[in-house]
Structure 1
Amino acid sequence: MKRFSRFNEYKALAYRILLVYIFYFIARILFYLYNVNLIKINSFFDFARLSYHGIAFDTTTILYTNILFIVLSVLPLVVNTKKVFQKILFYLYFTTNLLMYSFNFVDFIYYRYSFNRSTRASLDTFQNEDKTTLLLNFIVGYWHVFLLFFLCAFVWIYLYKRVKIAEVSVKPSINYFLGATASFLIIATLCVGGIRGDFKKSTRPINLLDASRYVTHNSQADLVLNTPFAIIRTWTANTFKKVNLVDKKVVDTLLVPIKQYKNNPKTKPNIVILILESYGREYIGAFNKNTKIPDYKSYSPFVDSLAQHSMIYTNAYANGWKSIHGMSSIIAGIPSFKDAFTSSAFSKQKIESLVSVLNGEGYDTSFFHGAPNGSMGFLGFSNILGYDHYYGKNEYNNDADFDGVWGIWDEPFFQYFNKTLSQKKTPFMATLFSVSSHEPYTVPEKYQGKFDKGTVNIHQTIGYTDMALKKFFNAAKKEKWYDNTIFVLVADHGNTIAYDEYRKEANKHTVPILFFTPNKKYVGENNEWAQQIDIYPTLLDMIGYDKPFRSWGRSLINPNDVKPFAIKHNSKEYMFMSGNYICTFNEKKAIGFYDKDDKDLKNNLINNRNKEMDILELRCKAFLQDYMERIIDKKLDSK
């Protein structure tokens, strides 16, 4: 018999994948019932809403788990309907699906101890244990979970077998293979989108952080998630491991992770933090006076003029290399090294930050980003930090100002930012993350040719965002809140490099840090080491906050704080910079010392160590030890 269509095969595939969704939903219900006292759900509608958002995370897991099954089911073969082939598909389907599905059931119990979905880090904790004994103890102690799993598996298998594919002989033909190949390509494209979470260019593949976009309480993120997803997304992202390198006294003395300042009278000025996308230090003339770069050119005339009335830090670094790393470093004082904290299994925990501190001081806190809500992971992390409000492309609600790729153009969105702030009660803390100085590096049509295109692709967009900043400040000057406000300007990271000076290893990831107050309280230029994680403690010092708080950074205005330093990771090793030297570190010990002016790291001085180098190594060890311990033990506060 000639087979004219594969419709029945596609229908059977859709049915089989639908079954996976149904049983993942059942697992979500059971997970909630087992942990009803730990997950704050207010109503049936609340549960339904969170379950709906969980479909995206289920989709990623289901497609990862079933990718081979789907490929074999839709490949344009001539044996697809054969009984032997269908039996192979059956065993492949249930071997992979039941294995991954079982992790959900483990978390019915384990969640009450960890308060998180299990991750790769969770599995690593059992690597030296007797796994057979642990499994037997689990089965005996929680037999009801084991029984529920097998009951679900039995019903699942029964339902799978209810729909069979009749064996049909196929006569190969060009039309058959062309039609089947076209169907295969369409299904493959849909699978890619499902694994990523969507097809938008402005968003990266969803991860654990994205589950927090939809929550009103942190625990709800674990209902949105499923355990296999948490394991898959953290499989290659677990370099968070405790190290024991120095005595606790060394940490408390050299790092001082718990800060307390009593230098300034207690005040409540508004705080506006402008995080500029890709706005590296290289592009701003005011931050390059001492670089001696031949034929240097600035592309930010307004920021250059603002710098003349501000306190600027010309030797500052980003503590990560992605936008979300900038947010966690600047707002929460948490840097990212080999793996991002925000993409790790540890991101969903109580975090003491600028947001939580100012919320406690009666501030209204808000985060603004003109991209589609959820882009870059900002919405999820802002919920974890506890921002009162989030304003994105949805709230802006005017696609006429959409750039077609990333979000709302900076000029109109900055004006929206000003208007929204002007309607708020003071004091407020507002964070704006800009959009336009980003690939594909275009400007609105009406500004074509207005900004210097310079020598690299980003230069004209630096000029456009600079103009948008100027218009924002001109508008904000007219508002009542303006005079009692501390403005912070900083980049999330750098971007395309135009000058060789910034290709040097120790000059990568450099950013501007600028504090501006209309009353000109803070004016000057500081060339000491500085970094994004210093902004949080500096602001608390400025407003006279006198309670203890957790901070790995330092107050940039407090000469009695820890010695100026900067730390970053270059994908191979840590770099700890302070005083006269740059130390490279491999997680256990120093592997290099370089003069602070040796930005290319050409002359390793490790064989001529001195006391300053020894202390520098101790400081690096103290930082890494306390960083890992606090993140893993969920002690990201001052308690």
Structure 2
Amino acid sequence: MKEIRWQEFLILMYRLFLVYFFYQIARFLFWFFNRDLLKIDSIGDYFNIAYHGTAFDTTAILYVNSVFILLSLIPIIVNSKAGYQKFLFWWYFITNGIAFSFNFGDFVYFRFSQSRLTSSVLSVVEHESNLTKVFLNSTIQNPMVLISFVLCMALWVFLYKRVKVQYRKPQNLLVYFISSILILCGTAVLVVGGIRGDFRHSTRPINLVDANKHVKNPTLANVVLNSVFSFFRTINTNSFKIVHFVDESFIEKEIQPYKHYNRQVEARPNVVIFIVESFGKEYSGAFNKETNIKDYVSYTPFVDSLAQHSLIFTNAFANGRQSIHGMSSVLAGIPSLTDAFTSSPYSNQKIQSIVSVANDLGYDTSFYHGAPNGSMGFLGFGNILGFKHYFGKDEYNNDKDFDGIWSIWDEPFFQYFANNIGKHQPFLSTIFTASSHDPFKIPEQYKGKFKKGPLAIHEPIQYTDLSLKKFFETASKKPWYQNTIFVITADHTNMIHYPEYQKTMNRFAIPLLFYSPNPKYNLQGVNKDFVQQIDIYPTLADLMGYNKPIRSWGRSLVSDKSEPSIIVNSDSIQEQMIIGDFIYTFNGKEVTGIYDKTDLGLTNNQINKPKSKQQELDMMKVKAWYQDYMNRVINKKLY
């Protein structure tokens, strides 16, 4: 029976078992490195998550090892020879090593993205020329991640070599080939079923959403998943699909995708928008006066002082997870769902935005970002929005102020911004800051000048806050200053220290501030309503006196009109919407969770409890909003 290749088949099973074993190690390490963000109540809960994660591991492992399995079983007689086995060894460890490293990259990446790695990262990095520097800095800052990876790979190689295929020359070639073909056919069936996640034809292949079935808290779905699965499963995927849940009349009444304001403005205000990199609400004292966080420390003294003379919103949320998501949300009122609009096939279309509104009103419009031109995809998307001018590192033209990795330091670039805008009025200018980006450096002259905090981002946030102060000092002397509205917000959140901000929804909590030295705009006070980035665009259109209908899923925060408020964001697995007194989670087909508005951690799912009439209506609003979003994005109705 030597011709029946049980030895090679069993050793193949052993080698695949090793992949499963190390994927579970990677899962544990992913949780361990992010345990402050991923609270698991007990050992039993962890093992339950790890058990259900095996299905997602299977898909990932078979994606990566399909060719290795074929090469191990294909009947070519020389399979058991030392040379061929050495070839298999290198194929196995090169392919698995690269894929395995995805998980380790997520040990760090997750803290910034709040989601597992997906193929959308390709659209982010394609515009960057500094990836080597970013990788080296990340490695230096997180040496234990690299050490853990090297140790795992060393142990993996050791265990692989412990079991070897012994050379056997087949005597009966007919039996050899027939048995090999039968084993290959049986294995192929198992591989197809494993990749799909199920053998039933009626069941769709598992995807990221399915991880939520195995956890009570949606955030823990990231532990169920692995980074290889989430990356490969999202390659060439398009979750943008036309759906039909409700009639258009329901959308017009309950969603109101078009807003119309009739404010009369004598002299149109200039507008300056600061989108501050990684500026989580957690860092700013003005937005935390009622959070009751013990021993709270603020790292934004200037923003805190400016807030006393501004209209601030203490319950504001980001509509995305990455910088380019923040740009589309703040300027165009387009949130990013499971798949980001900005990396979709539909992003290159005519879009109504605060930029097009300003252009329509005769404003001079400009966008500033101190990184190399094209970084983050801002230049391309800025062109789609219609900015008349773009100013980046190239236009700044002084590399002495370059931080060496990302961009011109905030302080000099803000001064450049202050001195360059306002040459033509009215104007709308947006600046996307950069110095509070990983690897969280500050200029040498400020080393030791700021208070140390428990997070690496605390010093850069203080540096950006100081840069803002110096910007306003310069701007206040300009002739355009008095009739200008300033907006300060964030693109997304970042590192988390206080448990309050580890809650699922609070991972999107950002500051939102409107300020003007001109009292006629009445931009003062503290508003505790739940608001979002996509409200900025209609608010500014209202303040600028734009009296034509605008396409907007947000609402004006300074209007007396009663308008629908649906807070929208996504954890990259499913959508999250706040409507009225409840938070709803939605997977593109049905509402999967209902949580009280105060349950920002999404810990108590009420989906199986009897529902009130208001909840039933809100669930229809969730579907209606999603339907309208898909219709407008796909059918190019964003103008």
User: Which residue, 628, 631, 635 being the options, matches 1:629?
Assistant: 631
Which residue of structure 1 lines up, in the alignment, with residue 574 of structure 2?
A: 573
CA shift at 1:305, angstroms? 0.5
Which residue of structure 2 lines up, in the alignment, with residue 550 of structure 1?
A: 551
Which residue of structure 1 lines up, in the alignment, with residue 130 of structure 2?
A: 200
SS at match of 1:411: helix
Whether 2:544 is the aligned partner of 1:531: answer: no
Whether 2:365 is the aligned partner of 1:435: answer: no
- Measure, in 2, the Cα distance between the counterparts of 1:202 and 1:329: 29
Cα contact 1:528–1:564 (8 A) shared by 2: no
Structure 1 counterpart of 2:523, one-letter code: Y
Which residue of structure 1 lines up, in the alignment, with residue 456 of structure 2?
A: 457
User: Which residue, 619, 622, 637 being the options, matches 1:620?
Assistant: 622
Give runs of ≥4 in structure 1 deviating > 6 Å. Answer: 202-205
- Measure, in 2, the Cα distance between the counterparts of 1:233 and 1:584: 21
Cα contact 1:237–1:344 (8 A) shared by 2: no
- Measure, in 1, the Cα distance between the counterparts of 2:590 and 2:382: 35
Structure 1 counterpart of 2:480, one-letter code: W
Cα contact 2:337–2:570 (8 A) shared by 1: yes
Identical aligned residues as a percent: 54
Residues 1:313 and 1:576: Cα distance change in structure 2 (over 3 Å): same
CA shift at 1:401, angstroms? 0.3
CA shift at 1:605, angstroms? 2.2
CA shift at 1:265, angstroms? 3.6
CA shift at 1:268, angstroms? 1.1
Structure 1 counterpart of 2:297, one-letter code: K
SS at match of 2:594: strand
Cα contact 2:366–2:390 (8 A) shared by 1: yes
Which residue of structure 1 lines up, in the alignment, with residue 471 of structure 2?
A: 472
Cα contact 1:202–1:371 (8 A) shared by 2: no
- Measure, in 2, the Cα distance between the counterparts of 1:603 and 1:549: 37
Cα contact 1:370–1:413 (8 A) shared by 2: yes
Tell me which moved more, 527-536 or 579-588.
Answer: 579-588
Whether 2:232 is the aligned partner of 1:245: answer: no
Residues 1:618 and 1:541: Cα distance change in structure 2 (over 3 Å): same
Structure 2 counterpart of 1:569, one-letter code: S
CA shift at 1:203, angstroms? 11
Structure 2 counterpart of 1:616, one-letter code: D
Cα contact 1:258–1:549 (8 A) shared by 2: yes
Structure 2 counterpart of 1:378, one-letter code: F
- Measure, in 1, the Cα distance between the counterparts of 2:128 and 2:461: 29
Q: For 1:374-417, what per-residue CA distance to the aligned partner results, in whole angstroms no more than 9, with x for missing partners?
A: 00000000111110000000000000000000000000000000
- Measure, in 1, the Cα distance between the counterparts of 2:350 and 2:508: 28
SS at match of 1:272: strand
Which residue of structure 2 lines up, in the alignment, with residue 501 of structure 1?
A: 500
- Measure, in 1, the Cα distance between the counterparts of 2:130 and 2:233: 19
Alignment of 1:157-306 (within 5 A): 196=126, 199-201=129-131, 235-265=235-265, 267-306=267-306
Structure 2 counterpart of 1:625, one-letter code: Q
- Measure, in 2, the Cα distance between the counterparts of 1:198 and 1:295: 39
- Measure, in 2, the Cα distance between the counterparts of 1:412 and 1:574: 39
SS at match of 1:608: coil
Provide TM-score, normalisation by structure 2.
Answer: 0.63
Which residue of structure 2 lines up, in the alignment, with residue 344 of structure 1?
A: 344
Alignment of 1:52-91 (within 5 A): none
- Measure, in 1, the Cα distance between the counterparts of 2:470 and 2:343: 35
Structure 1 counterpart of 2:433, one-letter code: S
Cα contact 1:534–1:556 (8 A) shared by 2: yes
Structure 2 counterpart of 1:636, one-letter code: L
Which residue of structure 2 lines up, in the alignment, with residue 152 of structure 1?
A: none
Which residue of structure 2 lines up, in the alignment, with residue 356 of structure 1?
A: 356
SS at match of 1:567: strand
Tell me which moved more, 196-205 or 540-549.
Answer: 196-205
Q: For 1:302-349, what per-residue CA distance to the aligned partner results, in whole angstroms no more than 9, with x for missing partners?
A: 000001101111111111100000000110111111111111111111
SS at match of 1:529: strand
Structure 2 counterpart of 1:277, one-letter code: E
Residues 1:196 and 1:275: Cα distance change in structure 2 (over 3 Å): closer
Alignment of 1:368-407 (within 5 A): 368-407=368-407
Tell me which moved more, 234-243 or 344-353.
Answer: 234-243
Structure 2 counterpart of 1:617, one-letter code: M
CA shift at 1:608, angstroms? 3.0
Structure 2 counterpart of 1:468, one-letter code: S
SS at match of 1:622: helix
- Measure, in 1, the Cα distance between the counterparts of 2:446 and 2:629: 46
Which residue of structure 2 lines up, in the alignment, with residue 598 of structure 1?
A: 599
CA shift at 1:597, angstroms? 1.0
- Measure, in 1, the Cα distance between the counterparts of 2:603 and 2:126: 41
Which residue of structure 2 lines up, in the alignment, with residue 315 of structure 1?
A: 315
- Measure, in 1, the Cα distance between the counterparts of 2:250 and 2:128: 47
Cα contact 1:364–1:426 (8 A) shared by 2: yes
Residues 1:253 and 1:317: Cα distance change in structure 2 (over 3 Å): same
SS at match of 2:303: helix
- Measure, in 1, the Cα distance between the counterparts of 2:326 and 2:501: 19
CA shift at 1:202, angstroms? 9.1
Cα contact 2:134–2:439 (8 A) shared by 1: no
CA shift at 1:612, angstroms? 2.2
Structure 1 counterpart of 2:130, one-letter code: K
- Measure, in 1, the Cα distance between the counterparts of 2:252 and 2:543: 23
CA shift at 1:237, angstroms? 4.1
Cα contact 1:356–1:385 (8 A) shared by 2: yes
SS at match of 1:582: strand
- Measure, in 1, the Cα distance between the counterparts of 2:345 and 2:544: 33
Provide TM-score, normalisation by structure 1.
Answer: 0.63
SS at match of 2:131: coil
Whether 2:583 is the aligned partner of 1:582: answer: yes
Structure 2 counterpart of 1:445, one-letter code: E
Structure 2 counterpart of 1:443, one-letter code: I
Residues 1:233 and 1:323: Cα distance change in structure 2 (over 3 Å): farther
Tell me which moved more, 554-563 or 503-512.
Answer: 554-563
CA-atom RMSD, angstroms? 2.2
Structure 1 counterpart of 2:131, one-letter code: K
SS at match of 1:527: strand
- Measure, in 2, the Cα distance between the counterparts of 1:367 and 1:233: 35
Structure 2 counterpart of 1:309, one-letter code: H
Q: For 1:89-112, what per-residue CA distance to the aligned partner results, in whole angstroms no more than 9, with x for missing partners?
A: xxxxxxxxxxxxxxxxxxxxxxxx
- Measure, in 1, the Cα distance between the counterparts of 2:329 and 2:463: 26
Q: Which runs of 5+ in 2 are unaligned?
A: 1-66, 68-118, 136-231
Structure 2 counterpart of 1:260, one-letter code: H
- Measure, in 1, the Cα distance between the counterparts of 2:536 and 2:524: 16
Structure 1 counterpart of 2:435, one-letter code: S
Which residue of structure 2 lines up, in the alignment, with residue 416 of structure 1?
A: 416
Residues 1:420 and 1:265: Cα distance change in structure 2 (over 3 Å): closer
CA shift at 1:233, angstroms? 13
CA shift at 1:454, angstroms? 0.5
Which residue of structure 2 lines up, in the alignment, with residue 329 of structure 1?
A: 329
Structure 1 counterpart of 2:494, one-letter code: N
CA shift at 1:579, angstroms? 2.1
SS at match of 2:577: strand
CA shift at 1:264, angstroms? 4.2
CA shift at 1:545, angstroms? 1.1
SS at match of 2:430: strand
Structure 2 counterpart of 1:240, one-letter code: F
Residues 1:197 and 1:401: Cα distance change in structure 2 (over 3 Å): closer
- Measure, in 2, the Cα distance between the counterparts of 1:555 and 1:252: 17
SS at match of 2:382: helix
Residues 1:441 and 1:631: Cα distance change in structure 2 (over 3 Å): same
